[in-house]
Amino acid sequence: MDGRVSEPVVRALIVGAPGSQEGTLGGAIKSLFGRNRRAAGLKSRNVLVLTPTSIRVFTATGRGWPPEADEEVGAWPVNAVKVAAEAAEKWSAFSATESGSQTNRFYNITLTVPDADDPVVVQCPRTDSARTTLQALEDATGSKPSRITARRRKKQQRERAAAESSEPAD
């Protein structure tokens, strides 16, 4: 994100256009020609960025790490965006990385943004980093917590309660 974002980056997550995480040949072709992807300006690899004041999406180029941001797809004030996320999975009979079939598990993230006819929808693999980023997005935007982050939030509440109860009384 060097030179692309002038304020601190709170969280960043590599995401794909819908269908790009499914791992199927049909999913890849569908995402390549999908209307929502073209309309949103997404590529198969993008970066979702949360800053203290905005949520931004950039297309990413190359396969290197970290990915280089290419074009900004959109930037919206944090308080104007609503975030929704759901866990999804898709069975594939074809996999580019493994022989045979497999079940691909991913998160669908929907950003309802101002002045847009359709929400921006992206996908990412189910990882701890993705769950942490989703929770940060929900907290920053005041969006309703998803089922994805509910367990993590309960665990954090239990840990805080345990830490408070173990503190010496004054």
Note the pLDDT tens digit of each residue in 24-72: 444 444 444 444 444 468 888 899 999 999 999 999 876 677 778 889 9
Residue 126 phi, psi dihedral angles, 5° rounding: -75, 105
Q: Are 95 and 23 in contact (CB under 8 A)?
A: yes
Q: How confident is the model at residue 7 (pLDDT cuts 50, 70, 90)?
A: very high
Which residues fall within 8 angstroms of residue 114, CB to CB, at 6 or more apart? 76, 77, 80, 81
Per-residue pLDDT at 22 exceeds 60: no
More confident residue, 99 or 18: 18
Residue with tokens 């931004």: 56
Return the pLDDT at 17.
83
Residue 153 vs residues 74, 132, 138, 156: alpha-carbon distances, Å: 29, 10, 11, 5
Q: Which long-range contacts (CB under 8 A, 24 or more apart) does 152-160 make?
A: none
pLDDT, tens digit (0-9, with 9 covering 90-100), for 103-146: 778 999 999 998 888 899 999 999 999 999 999 999 999 999 99
Return the pLDDT at 93.
59
Cα(5)–Cα(49) distance, rounded to whole angstroms?
A: 9
pLDDT, tens digit (0-9, with 9 covering 90-100), for 65-114: 777 888 999 999 999 999 999 998 876 655 556 566 667 789 999 999 98
Q: How confident is the model at residue 1 (pLDDT cuts 50, 70, 90)?
A: low
pTM over 0.95: no
Cα(56)–Cα(38) distance, rounded to whole angstroms?
A: 17
